[in-house]
A and B are shown apart, each in its own frame.
Chain A
Amino acid sequence: MSTEAHVGRLPATEWDGGALPYRVGHRKLGMWLFIVSDAMTFSAMLIAYSYARVSSDAWPTPFPFYPSIIFSTTMTLFLLASSFTMVMAVRASAHNKLRAARRWIGATMLGGLTFLVLHSIEWSHLIHEGLRPFRLAGEWAERWPQAPPLFGASFFAITGLHMFHVLTGVLYLGVVALRIKKTRHEDVEISGLYWHFVDLVWMFVFPLIYLMSVDFTPGAGH
């Protein structure tokens, strides 16, 4: 065996140390991991909801197409639009157009805030109808006497957790917008990752909570 064979080699791929294997910085990787972990939290919540719903004798389908579904679809569109404006913000930041980036982030925050306001209106409307975490609205209980009181519990818990995420996102984006001149492009991108994630979560919440609960009876909602 030659001496050569005894000498330790320095392998030279990105996975062999001294480099960033995914070519992303610590914070971006950290945000991806946070997203994976937070996705587990939401999955657990949605599975709990699905479990309760599937194992119940009946489940209320109280949302008429108009106004409930139209209203929640509008909310959804605002959130989707805010994802678009966030894409534009990241694009502007990539081209180092900081004023434009700040404006786009502002638009994103506005989309998020609108979503929050509309959502609060919806919450107060449902609460006004009598929906509580521990009981169905009076009229619903009459229509679905076999249904457990879990509609309100799962609705408020899951949309509440999501609202909390949107609110956190708006505040987070506010900090990024204020510090845009000192912030690196990657950090703008990272805030975008978070925002798109919150948006994506809604794309699961919306069909599972709203579209699965559409009231198809003729004349519903009038």
Chain B
Amino acid sequence: MAEPEVTAETPAAAEEHAAHGAGHGAHHAPTGFVRKYIFSIDHKVIGIQYLLLALFSVVLGMLMSILMRMKMTWPDHAWPVLGWLFPEGAPGGVMTPEFYLSLVTMHGTMMVFFVLTTAPQGGFGNYFLPIQVGADDMAFPYLNMLSFWTTLLGLVVLVSAIFASGGSVIGPTGGWTGYPPLSAIGHLLNVPGQGMGVNLWIISIAIFCVASLLGALNFIVTLLNLRTKGMSLMRMPLTCWAWFTTAVLALLSFPVLLAAGVLLFLDHNAGTSFFVPGGLSNGTTVIDHSGGSPILWQHLFWFFGHPEVYIAILPGMGATSHILSTFARKPIFGYRAMVFAMFAIGLLGFFVWGHHMFISGMSPLTGAAFSVLTLSIGVPSAIKTFNWLGTLWGARIRFHTPMLFAIGFVSLFVAGGITGLVLGQTSLDLSMHDTYFVLGHFHLVMGVAAIFGMFAGTYFWFPKMFGRKMNETLGKIHFWPTIVGVYSIFIPMHAMGLVGMPRRYSQFYEMLDGKLVWIYNFNSPTYPLIQFVSWAAIITVSVQFLFIFNFFWSLFKGERASDNPWEATTLEWVTATPPPHDNFGGRVPTVYRGAYEFGVPGAPEDYVLQTTPDETGPNVAYADEAEGQGRGSSNGNDVHG
């Protein structure tokens, strides 16, 4: 394992850096293209690199989900393009069930690791955490660069599994959870994708684990040590609290997945039997392993897997709180409660992994304990939800695109979270486990809610990152079909699950002599829903290209943004747009107040920058500007237009 020893600073510089909290001059702005944009140690460039990596992964993952819907909805239809792309996986253009399963695996792995874990934390966190606490960079800039390149290596290895799994599949067929015994010994039975495919999949995840824990370590040290003068913990923006909590979760959970991955790799390659019980056979081949337990993998995997859910969603909660407060022009309701709720969610997240295993044959007593702990997460979640609603209550809301997506986040989080209370009950879970109900639940709450957090963050911070605003009209056209679309996709899935439709089945009906025949008759009422969901998915995915178009178009043609276009209060809006290499142009901001001081009585404007010492005076970026014209007050009038 790499030593966390790499740092950009000479010892003396580090000392000075540390002493001033947000010192400057630790490293100078690079000039060459390669050092500036490729092997950059600037956290802002690294943040954008992470975002582009996630954008690539999300496009790939989305296309895979469309392929899955195509297989399920039109199981026997021949798609000539697919036949040409995957001659073995889709012979004659008809996808095989194995091909479908490898799509399931790759979609899940891609989305969970390289999108949901990468973009909110590695992307936005990297870019904005140092600026929001008033630092000039992360604590370990070189380590930061290393984290990104390690993540990219993990992605490259995962993508290479598409090509190296054998022609008939594009990856392992065991899903993103990689349950043994299939993932451990599938190759002995010649199951497609379970040879080199599984190996590359495990290696990719192991690399990702190392990258995440290096990143997490960097985030925690930066937040603790590099806060600028006056930036006490309870003055930090909630985004910073979210990234911090997420980093703590990543630091404690990824190493467990790493250990599990190493053991699975040994099972697969060295003949060990950690996860393989004795007496396995497929009728012709007897597996020469014995003594292990697949349940052990489930314990280790979900000890990581459940905190992972919060790793995906917490940064979205942070961004949502930040944006709701800004556009409601009100302080966030119950700041302290928000912080404690976030930490409570993170802490409880480590004690509920068993709710993924209710049907594994665990003792009912254990199940009851996991169930009670799981349901108790509803308390901090409700605190957050009601505080968001309290923030919106009676506000004169500015409905800009980031605000729409933030409100969408709240809606999706509630809609997806409420079914968590259903699934958290052992007795109900027994019948709903592994059905479309679960699929609908987690896609709403950790999938699209987290994605909405990212959309909100992108529309909100784009002006700061690139100096131009994203097009509002296109943004709103993007929002409405997307929110209607994701509900249209995932709400019907709950109904399908209640009917009993199992997950991961490639098809539920087939065409025999032009007649539609159900493989399991009890699924037949779901026919219109299957069709509806697929069309909703195709339309929703198409709309996302509008976002991508808006993103790149606005990079070059968007309306120029001022330093503080949203009239927000935190430190990223104090500095120039886009921020200079050292974030504050050689100055160190000092913080005098909390992060969400909107509508302060007696203040000349409806917001007070964190750097303003006297709220009855004008907004200023630095206390010594109090006499002259402050940066924050001189602009930001463009928001009313």
The chain A residues found within 8 Å of chain B, CB to CB, are 1, 3, 6-11, 13, 15-22, 25-27, 29-31, 33-34, 36-38, 40-45, 47-48, 51-52, 55-56, 132-134, 147-150, 152-154, 157, 161, 165, 168, 172, 184, 187, 190, 194
Contacts and interface: CB of A to CB of B under 8 A. Distances in A.
A78 B317 CA distance: 50
B256 A40 contact: yes
Contacts of B7: 26-27
Contacts of A187: 11
Interface in B5-36: 5, 7, 11, 14-15, 17-22
Interface string B267-309: 0001111100010000000000111110010011001000000
B1 A10 contact: no
Q: Which of A40, A43, A147 has the most CB of B within 10 A?
A: A40
Contacts, number: 193
Nearest to B229: A18
Given A11-B232, A33-B217, A45-B259, A133 B270 contact: yes
Q: Give the residue among A8, A134, A154 with the most B Cβ atoms within 10 A.
A: A8
B420 interface: no
Interface stretch (B70-78, B469-477, B541-549, B609-617): B609-617
Interface in B376-431: none
A184 B162 CA distance: 47
Contacts of B165: none
A132 B270 CA distance: 9
B221 A30 contact: yes
Instruction: Please give me the 9 A-B residue pairs with the lowest Cβ-Cβ distance, nearest first.
Output: A148-B291, A8-B592, A18-B229, A134-B271, A44-B259, A153-B272, A17-B231, A16-B232, A18-B21
Contacts of B216: 33, 37
A130 to B, nearest CB: 14
Nearest to A8: B592
B80 interface: no
A92 to B, nearest CB: 19
Contacts of B342: none
B191 interface: no
B21 A19 contact: yes
Please indicate which of the listed interface residues A25, A36, A172 has the most CB atoms of chain B within 10 Å of its own CB.
A25
B140 A30 contact: yes
B260 A20 contact: no
B221 A33 contact: yes
Q: Is the interface of A mostly helix, strand, loop or mixed?
A: helix
B255 A41 contact: yes
Contacts of B274: 48, 52, 150, 153-154
B252 A6 contact: no
B258 A10 contact: no
A168 B259 contact: no
Contacts of B228: 17-18
A38 B266 contact: no
A26 B18 contact: yes
B438 interface: no
A1 B252 CA distance: 47
B3 A18 contact: no
B262 A150 contact: no
B296 A48 contact: yes
A157 B229 contact: no
B293 A20 contact: no
B224 A21 contact: yes
B355 interface: no
B369 interface: no
Contacts of A17: 21, 133-134, 227-232, 235, 591
B602 interface: yes
A167 B17 CA distance: 32
B225 interface: yes
Contacts of B258: 41, 44
Nearest to B593: A8
A6 B614 contact: yes
A186 to B, nearest CB: 8
B278 A11 contact: no
Contact of B231 (A16, A34, A149): A16
Contacts of A22: 224
A208 B462 CA distance: 54
Nearest to A152: B272
A17 B222 CA distance: 12
A26 B590 contact: no
Interface in B224-262: 224-225, 227-233, 235, 251-256, 258-260, 262
28 contacts: A6-B615, A7-B614, A10-B229, A10-B592, A11-B230, A11-B232, A17-B133, A17-B230, A20-B18, A25-B14, A26-B14, A26-B18, A26-B221, A26-B225, A27-B140, A33-B251, A41-B259, A48-B263, A48-B274, A48-B296, A48-B300, A52-B292, A134-B273, A134-B289, A148-B273, A152-B272, A157-B263, A168-B3
A27 B143 CA distance: 11
Contact of B225 (A21, A42, A149, A165): A21
A43 B17 CA distance: 35
Contact of A157 (B17, B272, B296): B272
Given A37-B252, A40-B252, A27 B5 contact: yes
Contacts of B256: 40-41, 43-44
A171 B138 CA distance: 27
A194 B224 CA distance: 21
B18 to A, nearest CB: 5
Contact of B221 (A9, A29, A38, A149): A29
Contact of B291 (A6, A18, A52): A52
Nearest to A24: B225
A7 to B, nearest CB: 5
B292 A150 contact: yes
